[in-house]
Structure 1
Amino acid sequence: MRRHRRQRNARRAATVVVSGLVLALGLAQAGAHPGHEDGIHPRPGPHGAGEPDDAVSKNNAHEFQHGPSTGHLPGSVENVELVSSLRLTSFAEDISDVSALQTADGRWFAYVGDWGAHCETGGVRVVDFTDPENPTRAGYLNSRGFGYVTEGLQALHIETAEFSGDLLVISNEWCRASGNPKNMPGGITLWDITEPTAPKRLVEAFGDFDVHGNRANESHSAIAWDTGEGNAYVAVIDNEELEDVDLFDITDPSNPVLLAETELPGVNVNGLGDLKTAHDFDVLQFPDGSWHLMVSDWDAGWIDVDVTDPANPVIVGDFDYAECDQVLLEELGECLQPEGNGHQGEWTSDGSVFVGTDEDFSPYRTSDLMITTGPHVGEYPAVSVGGALSPASLPDLTLDGPVVYGGYGCPDSAPIPSPEDIPGYLDMLEEGDERIIALQRGPFGDPSAPEDACFPGEKAHEAVEAGWESVLFVQSHVGPEDPPFCGSGAFVDPVVGVCTSHEVFHRLFDTPPFLPPWTYPDGPAIGEIGARIAVVSTFDGWGYTRVVDTSDPSMPTEIAQITIPETADEDFAFGFGDLTVHEVEVPRGDPNEGGPNVDDDVLAYFSWYSGGFRVFDISDPANPAEVGHYIDDDGNNFWGVALATDQNGDRIVLASDRDYGLFIFRYTGPLPE
């Protein structure tokens, strides 16, 4: 989500290498962290509500996709049949993830997340695709208040001592603050979908109540499993605490019980940006009977956690990125630190291979920020802001000019002054300079700013309305590590934006203290002119996929990369939509996905945003090869992917298009021998 992911807080970045070690997870006391507004994923745009048409022929052009042909890749198909499609929205970026499950009497239903383009309309759209050529809408599960559904969406069958039937697991986030905590759902919601056309809510917005007391912490994703021994569990992302992996017993899904919470301490964080934040999961029972949870931990990569006893999770493996990004080194001849952004992934059936996606929406990385005037001239850390334009979009590829402080910049914050209102500022601008406003992340806990925090894109919009051309976002008060992390999402204006640390903020305006501890009141007065900066961008390509040998869980080793042709091609950096990978499905005989099939462990199916639907041969994991793809003539924006079967038991694959709805595909190429 993100430009992504998703409303997530900065987390402490531990630096102890633990590959090859087995560490018991510390269940630290929960500590409150800022809310979701400045997270990793984008929030839905300000669209109006509307009901989409029900059926769309697979031969019809898709309206409301991406505008002119320059906004996406040209249509192309290889070894993939489009079985059908169903419009579920009329708004851009409205649809999120997809899951599917077959009922006991043989019907198939898809569960498609809705971000809620009008905020209040978030939830889950239910689709009957028993006849894959003629999918129909079968229901809608509305999220409470201002809730919406992103990646924590899973349908599965469980048999426990307390429940026998089909379960839908939903993780909850929200898009608008409210005086009524019931309008701001967090945690998880569980539905009994044994009869999908008559679902029964078992529990709503249940989770970790440490921070707020009267409502659960927001959750970006969740994954459940049935042990086969009378118990079922769910792992949940906690958006609001350092202890961002929560584990619950859902043996009685109407009465979940929190068993443990952990921040996955001590793992190595070595992706660009050093941001450690749990984002998504896979779960698998290994051949020895143990249960393993793979946590996508962003710049810490993927962390293998033994959850055989979910009350006592244990780290058994810690993935480390290579010193140089292998694809960039091969394609560009440059040694650049890997982006990181470990987003999602899946094991093969025996746990010996893991296929993990790195979600990177910024094909340019922001090189270090230079303060070029004043008492603190020097080079400082800076990163891109998802959803904002890169300095590479500027004619000279560089963001430079004097910086003015504009406060927090949210719609309810103190107004951002216009450049014309700042005495002497316009006279300072040199040829090629941009008008740059500095805006703090938050506000969080600032007694002088009681208003709600907001997304970077909302801050940028206020800045553009005031007459500014670009935004320097600065991190708020955080711990001693002070990573340059300012969130992402909700951009509606083409504005250049980069992020730097809180220390740099103080140095820009020469306002001590330059290092923590920081206190309020903080920084300069709104409208004060600071030093000049220069920020250059370096092309580093789009996010792609890594193949990891996990046959020794304690030593996960990267053995290959999966890319599309545009990944490291600078000609595709602008104008073709988001060309980063998002999710992967690896068939492995899961009964919740139709059971064993001919593609188990040999094919992998990807939702690649504007890169379309992709199919790769992974039968030789060290040498993956693309064998099929689908890109609609009017472009695609694929988020989720799920496995199912048709009436004959043959594999079909579902993909959720953020701007359209549901697509159903069949791979028609040869299977690996």
Structure 2
Amino acid sequence: MGEDELHSAPDPSQPLIEHDAATSDVVSSGPSAKVTKNLAVAGRGERLLPEGTTDVWAHDGYAYMGTFNEPCGTGTGYIPGVGEVSLVDDVEAPGIVVFDVHNNNRPEYVGNIPSVANSRTNDVKVADMNSGAVLAHSNEPCNGGPGGFELYNVDDPTAPVHLASVQTDDPNEFLRDNFGFADFGVHNVWLFTQGEKDYVAAVVESEFGNFQIFDITDPTSPEFVSAWGAESLFDPTVDWFATSDFGQILEADAYLLDGFGTSRNRFLHDVTINEEGTRAYLANWDAGLVLLDISDPTTPTLVSQAIDPNAGDGEVNSHQAWPTSDGSVVVETEEDFDAFETEFEITSGPHAGEYDAVEGSFTTPIFTLPGRTMSGPTVYAGLACDGTTVPSAPSSDHIAVIQRGDCRFDEKAQNAIDAGYAGIVVFNSAAEGDEVMIMGGESRDIPGVFVGRSTGLAIMGAASADDLAVDDTGASIEVEATPGRWGNVRIWDYADEENPVLASQFDTVCSANPTDESCDPRGTYSVHNVVVDGDEVYISWYSDGVLVVDISDPYNPVEVARYNETGTKFEERNGGIQDVWGVYKDPMEPWIYASDRNGGLYVLKELGSGSENRQE
């Protein structure tokens, strides 16, 4: 079976990696963003690791943060099995970074809980369980390492005890046995308790059963309990974990990859579970927000699916969600890094007109080019897999037209760069026809789009690829990136949990309008994560910083606070522009913990009333 026949869940962080690569050298000339005045920095846990810090969690006077792709896990200090672990004494090392925040005004670095070799620790959660304070962190390969998750006892966070390493597999036996669908990465985790039983819920990047529950009542010997996946929305009558019907599997696979907009998958991205441990809120990307009844953890049962493809920009992209304490309101985030739409036109010749196209994920974003446009005359470069066969560009504005097949997209791009082309247009193979797709690969400094086969032939004025010869000239083309929007917040009324209603949406200036003059062009203005405490939502919004939104009326959300610093002096202190990934709130306390991808830990204090209030 080839890659085009069956797909496992994509790396959910890949768009962010590509965005980082594409915007690393963009210089901002924009002014500072608007700032409300009732959030103050109380303390700082400095970690100047560019694009290196991920989620944050706090528990019993300690804050914990994860590490992104670089530095990838080294395994230094990691002890498999049960045993006390020596913390790594390097705040910029991979693993889980621990700060003592008993004094929130003066966080003190404790050390790093070691990472597994060649994997990253994207997510971390800590909770009081029956067996003590348990820390769970995810493993995702960043250099071919293992997936799964790790468990630690952190009754004393300065001397953590490693309890178990758990491998996570596809629950479908046929896929495991015949196609090696085992040892998948875990993107997020959640700890919960029911009476005397303790559990971990894991977001597994498998084909089926992305939501998996493990019994960790004995945390040294976790046991798989159950799984659920969006394939059950496609056909609830099929036992997806038992089926060996390859036709059924391919049909479900097609459904899981046929969502909305640009990023079309329906795989699970994150999960939040209520305090009673009976309801799981699954942010299932283009399957929307799924509510499961897990009162019996062995049999997760669908309660409802909250989805509105017309909301926001129509991408859906359900990224993360958090309910109010009574479950009557749920706040959901839509993560969307594609703030511009692609318009493709053949501007000369007999086939002039508009055609479908999708911008590459690894190529230079067209919105960063002058006029947000890639345009020029074209030359046919064949498959462009052998650099010696790619004709030199006749001039610096020529675009290479390339046929899909035989080698990676980034290899084709590199050969076009070496031949002096200003951009690439890749058209589909005969087998795939006019289907358009997002090209993936390692970052290359050239803009590029993918088009259907008939579009590629129309550019070249040919009836068949057999009529083409390398170095043939084609029509001129123009590809424009037009402003769309970043991802925003959706607020759902769950008064009837079986029939949730979209109460409202919330945007910032920059998420709604990426070209507003107040928006730093280096910035990422998609929303990311939320925590709900009482009637207030605490939001990490990348380059918009940390926002607090009042949802006492879920149909009329009001922003009441924001922490958003900009400017040269801040960037020097922070190690780069503001880029807030994670947020955690001490319940019923004024302390907010935020993780900046460049600068590390920020402890914020929410001040009293009377400060500026504003709704975007």
The TM-score with structure 2 as length reference comes to 0.75
After superposing the two structures, state which structure 1 stretch, 604-613 or 632-641, moved more.
632-641
8 Å Cα contact 2:433/2:452 also seen in 1: no
Task: Choose the corresponding residue for 1:282, options 253, 271, 286.
Answer: 271
Partners of 2:558 and 2:507 lie apart in 1 by: 9
Contact 2:214 2:223 in 1 (8 A): yes
Contact 1:386 1:487 in 2 (8 A): yes
**Aligned position for 2:59:** 101
Report the Cα offset of residue 482 of structure 1.
5.6
Please report the TM-score for the alignment, with normalisation by the length of structure 1.
0.70
CA contact (8 A) 2:188 2:271 kept: no
1:272 corresponding residue in structure 2: 261
CA contact (8 A) 2:269 2:285 kept: no
Greater helix share, 1 or 2? 2
Q: 2:112 aligns with which of 101, 118, 140?
A: 140
1:320–1:464 distance in 2 versus 1, CA, 3 Å:
same
**CA separation of 1:553/1:394 partners in 2, compared to 1, >3 Å: closer, same or farther?**
same
One-letter amino acid of the structure 2 residue matched with residue 172 of structure 1: N
- Amino acid of the structure 1 residue aligned with 2:42: V
For residues 538-561 of structure 1, the C-alpha deviation after alignment (integer angstroms, 9 at most, x for no partner) is 321222111111222232221111
Aligned to 2:305: 318
Superposed, which structure 2 residues align to 1:254-653 within 5 Å?
Answer: 254-258=220-224, 259-266=226-233, 271-273=260-262, 275-285=264-274, 291-323=278-310, 325=312, 337-367=313-343, 369-370=344-345, 380-385=355-360, 389-401=364-376, 402=378, 404=380, 414=385, 416=387, 421-422=390-391, 426=394, 435-436=399-400, 438=402, 464=417, 467-472=420-425, 484-487=437-440, 491=443, 493=445, 495-500=446-451, 533-569=477-513, 570-572=515-517, 575-587=521-533, 600=534, 602-633=535-566, 634=570, 635-644=577-586, 650-653=589-592
Shift of 1:506: 8.5
Partner in structure 1 of residue 135 of structure 2? 168
What is the match of residue 241 of structure 2?
none
1:82 to partner: Cα distance: 0.5
State the distance in 2 between where 1:309 and 1:526 align. Answer: 63
2:598 aligned to which of 656, 659, 662: 659
CA contact (8 A) 1:83 1:133 kept: yes
Deviation at 1:119, TM superposition (A): 2.9
Distance in 1 between residues matched to 2:296 and 2:98, nearest whole Å:
34
Q: Which residue of 2 aligns with 1:193?
A: 154
Deviation at 1:656, TM superposition (A): 0.4
Structure 2, unaligned stretches of length 5 or more? 74-92, 235-254, 571-576
Query: Whole-Å Cα distance in 1 between the matches of residues 373 and 402 of structure 2?
Result: 17
Q: Say which SS state the counterpart of residue 496 (structure 2) adopts.
A: coil
CA distance in 1, matches of 2:607, 2:202: 35
Cα distance in 1 for partners of 2:156, 2:463 equals 62
Give the drift of 1:653: 0.5
- Determine if the alignment matches structure 1 residue 206 to structure 2 residue 197: no
Q: Secondary structure at the match of 1:318?
A: strand
Contact 1:189–1:206 (Cα < 8 Å) also in 2: no
Using the TM superposition, give the Cα deviation of residue 464 of structure 1 relative to its aligned residue in structure 2, in angstroms.
4.3
Match of 1:92 among 26, 47, 50: 50
Q: 2: CA distance between counterparts of 1:256 and 1:475?
A: 46
Q: Return 304-313 or 348-357, whichever deviates more.
A: 304-313
Would the alpha carbon gap of residues 38 and 616 (structure 1) be closer, same or farther in structure 2, given more than 3 Å must change? closer
How many Å apart are 1:584 and its aligned residue? 1.0
Q: CA, structure 1 residues 471+556, in 2 after alignment: closer, same or farther (shift >3 Å)? A: farther
Contact 2:259 2:265 in 1 (8 A): no
Q: Against the structure 1 CA distance between its residues 271 and 403, is the aligned structure 2 distance closer, same or farther, given a 3 Å change threshold?
A: farther
Task: Kindly report the root-mean-square deviation, in angstroms, between the aligned alpha carbons of the 2 structures.
Answer: 4.4
Give distance in 2, aligned partners of 1:42 and 1:551.
38
* Alpha-carbon distance between aligned partners in 2 of 1:383 and 1:554, rounded to the nearest angstrom: 37
Residue 200 of structure 2 corresponds to: 233
Structure 2 residue matching 1:567: 3-state secondary structure: helix
- Partner-residue secondary structure (3-state), 1:360: coil
Rounded to whole Å, the distance in 2 between the matches of 1:463 and 1:629 is 45
Q: Distance in 2 between matches of 1:544 and 1:96?
A: 20
The CA deviation at 1:149 is 2.1
Query: Is the 8 Å Cα contact of residues 615 and 628 (structure 1) preserved in structure 2?
Result: yes
CA gap 1:640/1:416 in 2 versus in 1, 3 angstroms = farther
Distance 1:174 1:100, change over 3 A: same
CA-to-aligned-CA distance 1:334-377 (integer Å, 9 cap, x gap): xxx5232221121111111111111222321224x446789987
Count the aligned residue pairs.
549
How much has 1:426 moved relative to structure 2? Answer: 2.1
Contact 2:164 2:220 in 1 (8 A): yes
Is contact 1:190–1:204 with CA below 8 Å preserved after alignment? yes
- Secondary structure in 2 aligned to 1:266? helix
Any idea what SS the aligned residue of 1:344 has?
strand
Secondary structure, in 3 states, of the residue corresponding to 1:354? strand
Deviation at 1:536, TM superposition (A): 3.0
Flag the structure with more relative contact order, 1 or 2, with Cα contacts below 8 A and sequence separation at least 6. Answer: 1
Equivalent position amino acid for 1:282 in 2 = V
Cα distance in 1, alignment partners of residues 20 and 318 from structure 2: 25
Using the alignment, how far apart are the partners of 2:471 and 2:152 within structure 1?
51
Q: How far, CA to CA, are the matches of 1:205 and 1:72 in structure 2?
A: 48
Cα displacement (A) at 1:485: 3.3
Residues 364 and 539 in structure 1, CA contact (< 8 A), matched pair in contact too: yes
Question: 2:96 maps to what in 1?
Answer: 124
Distance in 2 between the 1:477 and 1:118 partners? 41
CA contact (8 A) 1:345 1:584 kept: yes
What is the rounded CA distance, in whole Å, between the counterparts of 1:394 and 1:44 in structure 2? 15
Partner SS for 1:70: coil
- Given that 2:267 and 2:286 are in contact with CA atoms closer than 8 Å, whether structure 1 keeps it comes out as no
- Residues in 2 aligned to 1:616 and 1:641: alpha-carbon distance in whole angstroms: 14
User: Deviation digits for residues 383-424 of structure 1, max 9, x if unmatched?
Assistant: 44557554344445433343655869xxxxx55569xx516x
The aligned residue for residue 15 of structure 1 is none
Check whether the contact 2:39–2:561 (CA below 8 A) recurs between aligned residues. yes
Letter in 1 for 2:481: S
Amino acid at match of 1:364: F
Deviations 1:253-283 (A, max 9, x none): 3333332252344369764236123343333
Q: CA deviation at 1:502?
A: 7.9
Q: In 2, distance between residues paired with 1:480 and 1:34?
A: 24
> Which deviates more from structure 2 when the two are superposed, residues 463-472 or residues 222-231?
463-472
**Alignment-mate amino acid for residue 315 of structure 2:** E
**In the superposition, relative to structure 1, how do residues 392 and 255 fare at CA in structure 2: closer, same or farther (>3 Å)?**
same
Unmatched tracts of structure 1, length 5 or more: 1-8, 13-30, 47-64, 103-107, 178-183, 326-336, 409-413, 441-445, 515-521, 588-599
